[in-house]
Structure 1
Amino acid sequence: MKLLLIEDDPAMRSTLQRTFERRGVQVVACGDGARALDRWRASVPDVVLLDLSLPGMDGLSVLEKARADGQRTPVLILTARGAVGDRILGLNTGADDYLAKPFDLDELEARVRALARRAAPSAEIQGDGFAGPSEFCGLRCDSASGAIYFGDTVMELSPREAALLRALLARPGHAVAKERLFELVFPGESDVQYEAIEVVAYRLRKKLAATGAQLVTLRGLGYLLKAQG
């Protein structure tokens, strides 16, 4: 796994880089907001660990520009700004997770690895007997990157939306249990409420409106992907 660490405090940056490298993670470190986007594009990370208080360009601006540029890498914001309003602002800007300082290193690593797993392409839905992501109604999943295309265009999906759509593409026309989808979309996240999968499904359904596919809720069963009309 490759981690892009964007942190302006030299001591914190050095500590985090050493910690993750000892645990088998390849780390690209950057301490300047103005250079962060270039490092992001060049390093092709699996996860970005982003501080908000950066010189040159603050972390939220870096995140906003990266998302506008089409960068879909999962982002965990790591900052001393722990107020609810700050967390909401960060998540609405495009972050996937948020951890306030001070923090526990083991929890930080667990959250980073959970984001990486969520964004990784699923080869199959284990135990269901169906092969991996297929092409359906103009939608297809790139097996190397995990990106989902509609025609020749990459869909702008959050990591959770992409994980849900990959699971449904694995067996279009067949119901996938909500419990199984929750495990795939929120792997190892015991603090997430079960109903959160409904929020992800709602957002994905709106993004599928312009495609030939429709996300259908089957009450008491789960969800399925079918052709519109």
Structure 2
Amino acid sequence: MQRLMIADSSDIVRTVAKRILTEMNFLVVEASGDREALMRCQADLPNILIVDAGLEGALELIAAVRALPEGKNVRIYYCVIEADLKKMMVGKRAGADDFLLKPFDRKILFSVFSNLSKVA
């Protein structure tokens, strides 16, 4: 089972995403802040990390995860509210692999993550 972490300050976003992604057979871990997310990653690195661009310390979190042993193997999604090229490039430079637009719903999460949930 793939481990996936959602780092987002919104309880509602984390709850909804966790419910949907758990149904897709991910083992979902939540973090409400950058420090909590980094501590959880240091303890047990997820296969996939979703980081909200609005999270304080989001870019530093991405860079810190990349610096961890095996951190290069984590698939990191930088979650943005709009397709802002400047913000997306900053996320990419910090180490994000891909982007996820908010607000997301079941259809979007299934289209992005359905193939990844099958990879062991």
On whether the aligned pair clears a TM of 0.5, the verdict is: yes
Higher RCO (C-alpha under 8 Å, 6+ residues apart): 2
Amino acid at match of 1:5: I
Opposite residue 87 of structure 1, the aligned amino acid is: M
Asked if the contact 2:21–2:109 (Cα under 8 Å) also holds between the matched residues in 1, the reply is: no
On the 8 A contact 1:28/1:43 being kept in 2, the answer is no
Q: How many Å apart are 1:38 and its aligned residue?
A: 1.1
SS in 2 for 1:5: strand
* Residue 102 of structure 2 is aligned to residue 101 of structure 1: yes
Deviations 1:159-189 (A, max 9, x none): xxxxxxxxxxxxxxxxxxxxxxxxxxxxxxx
TM-score, with length taken from structure 2: 0.82
User: What's 2:17 paired with?
Assistant: 16
TM-score of the pair, normalised by structure 1 = 0.46
Instruction: Report the CA distance between 1:114 and its aligned residue.
Output: 4.5
| Structure exhibiting the larger radius of gyration computed from Cα positions | 1
* Cα root mean square deviation, aligned: 2.1
* Alignment-derived partner of residue 6 in structure 2: 5
Q: Determine the structure 2 residue equivalent to 1:85.
A: 86
Q: Which structure 2 residue ranges, 5 or more long, are not aligned? A: none
CA 41–106 in structure 1, closer or farther in 2 if over 3 Å, else same: farther
Shift of 1:85: 0.8
Residues 187-206 of structure 1 aligned to structure 2 (within 5 Å): none
Question: Quick one: structure 1 residues 113 and 46, their matched pair in 2 at CA, closer, same or farther if it must change by over 3 Å?
Answer: farther
Higher helix share goes to which structure?
A: 2
Q: Does the aligned pair in 2 maintain the 1:79–1:101 contact within 8 Å?
A: yes
Aligned to 1:35: 36
1:139-164 deviation line (CA, Å, top 9, x unaligned):
xxxxxxxxxxxxxxxxxxxxxxxxxx
Number of residue pairs aligned between Structure 1 and Structure 2:
117
1: CA distance, partners of 2:23 / 2:77:
20
Q: Deviations over 1:65-113 (max 9, x none)?
A: 2212341211011122531111111112111110221234322233234
Query: Where in structure 1 are there 5+ consecutive unaligned residues?
Result: 122-229
In 2: Cα distance, 1:115 partner to 1:61 partner: 25
Counterpart of 1:86 in 2: which secondary structure? helix
Percent identity reads 23
